[in-house]
Chains A and B, each alone.
Chain A
Amino acid sequence: MIATRKGRVGLLYMAPALIFVIAFVIVPLVQLVQTSLTDASLLGGSEFVGLANYARAFSDPTFMRALWFTARYTIIITPILMGLGFALALLTAPNRPLTQLTRGIVFLPVVIGLGSSSLLWFWLFDQQVGLLNKILVDVHLLGQPMVWFTKADLVMWAVIISVTWKVVGFGMILFVAAIQSINTEITEAAMIDGAGPWQRVWSILVPLTARTILLATLISAIGSMLAFDQFYIMSGGGPRGQTFTAVYWIYQSSFISFKLGYGAALSLILTAIILCFSALQVFLTNRSPNND
């Protein structure tokens, strides 16, 4: 009854946020489309060029390489983050002092900045002064300190190691919550029926947390597809531009080479890719059983 009498008032309460989003997301998006059709430069001047920027994007080897590199990074790191996150959730889901402490410490790096953690790991990986190299040499995994930042594949692995340390707690904490919300009667019944630990994980825990796994995977993959800080700080896109990510190349084109029009076209291509994943994320989130 309340709802029907004062329904419209609800719109008033939403209005400030709506205006804010329209002003700082929707309007810029429209401007982005306009800019992408011009040869606008940060130095001034802007001519309409139609779809030329898009044609150029698809024949720009650096952009294509950046997209491919970003995709490869995402495809490699996402299963690592989700798999390790799930394993850590299995380890720490029972509420005991030690497991709770472990959970708290694994989640700790999630709250610190990606910039700070990348600089920390940049130092750990350094060939001259890096302690990670020293540890690997001291335990005889390496004969001598390794140079991590001169080969694209090693750069990627260095970044993956550092980012895994930083964000593995994200998936873990979501999975812990999902596992804990499963009725213990189900797992106990399975145990009485003689299901072994792996069977219980694969046939009960994984299916019953499938929605959370899917959501966490999407959120994590979107984050990886938008990677910038870690590569900007740890590799600077090098060696020879082989570790530019999509966002990094957009930043480089727009703000270092001043090609705003071209950068806008690249941004829209990236937005289109991201939108496929983020729309699914929003759809899944809004279909949450908690909101039904």
Chain B
Amino acid sequence: MTDAIANAAEIAPAEHAAGRVAGEVRQVRYLVGALCVAVIAVMLAPLALSFLASIKTPAEASQSPPVYLPSQISLENYAKIFDFQAGLWTYAGNSLAVAAITILLCLVLAVPAGYGLARFNFRGKEVLFLVLLAPLMIPYQALLTPLYMMFAKAGLANSHLGLAIIHAVLQLPFSIYLMRNSFESIPRELEEAAVMDGSSSFQVLRNIFGPLVVPGMVTVALFAFITSWNEFLAALIFMNKETAFTVPIMLVSVRTGRLGAIDWGALQAGVMLSIIPCVLIYVLLQKYYVSGFLNGAVK
């Protein structure tokens, strides 16, 4: 009996403590929830405001002082962007063409290089790997002068291929890291069995590894697209003919506008259109994107 009371006395504070901890945990959860909502609001506000400005009438979008919400919905700003100078399709076409070539170059170069690095041992491999990482160490911003002169001589100025080469240089180390990690994560046994059967290393690559590294290749392509679509400085320098502009360069000339007055509504419509492909890719392929990001950046 006394034992039971003593036990109860011992248990009670423990239960009390547990109850307090649970209470604290609940409070912390509410706090975390509130903070999350606040963070989401702050992060989405600029995009929401830009979108709302893009569907105002041009006059309302340039009105001072500004208003938050459009009084009527108008697509006039978007119409202006579609007809801007050579037309949105010319600029988006340039951006897409450059991105497509960039993706192709990254895959053609990084898939075999990743295979070679992950699956073969030869003397000097480490040094050659460092050479492949040179674009990480030497900023491409510094190389634009010699590349500009080189491309001018080769007739690659204002060409999709020229700009894509620079974007591929930019994206190559990341792509190679990613492909090397993809190949390394495949069990050796798979390869050994095939080699026993007399397959050449290329057959192993094509038949056995090929399907297994498709996720890695998708990630390489995604990142190559986003880098190329968004890249600004090289596009500014190399695509100096108006019809060769990519989308970011088009946006800057939308801002410059005519007669010095900025067409704010059209500018925000342009901003919205320029981010749509990136946001779509991110939302639809978030898994590939985030895991690729982690694999290429730190591993």
Contacts and interface: CB of A to CB of B under 8 A. Distances in A.
A49 interface: no
B108 interface: yes
B144 interface: yes
Interface residues of B, number: 101
A11 B267 contact: no
Interface of chain B, main secondary structure: helix
Interface of chain A, main secondary structure: helix
Contact of B232 (A113, A122, A128): A113
Nearest to A273: B139
Interface range on chain A (Cβ under 8 Å from partner): 35 or more
A4 B148 CA distance: 43
B142 A260 contact: no
A25 B169 contact: yes
Interface in B127-146: 128, 130-139, 141-146
Nearest to A11: B122
A28 B149 CA distance: 9
A229 B230 CA distance: 11
Interface in A96-139: 98-99, 101-102, 104-109, 111-117, 119-124, 126, 128-131, 134
Given A2-B195, A7-B120, A99-B36, A119 B267 contact: yes
A119 B269 CA distance: 11
Contact of A282 (B43, B130, B147, B236): B130
Interface stretch (A72-80, A152-160, A264-272): A264-272
Interface of B: 32-33, 35-37, 39-40, 42-44, 46-47, 49-50, 53, 61-66, 68, 105, 108-110, 112-113, 115-117, 119-122, 125, 128, 130-139, 141-150, 165-166, 168-169, 172, 176-177, 181, 191-192, 195, 201, 205, 226, 229-233, 236-237, 248, 251-252, 255, 264, 267-268, 270-271, 274-275, 278-279, 281-282, 286, 289-290, 293-294, 297-299
Interface of A: 2-4, 6-14, 16-18, 20-22, 24-29, 31-32, 35, 88, 91-92, 94, 98-99, 101-102, 104-109, 111-117, 119-124, 126, 128-131, 134, 145, 165, 173-174, 177, 212, 215-216, 219, 222, 226, 228-229, 232-233, 247, 250-251, 254-255, 260, 263-264, 267-268, 270-271, 274-275, 278-279, 281-282, 285, 288, 290-291
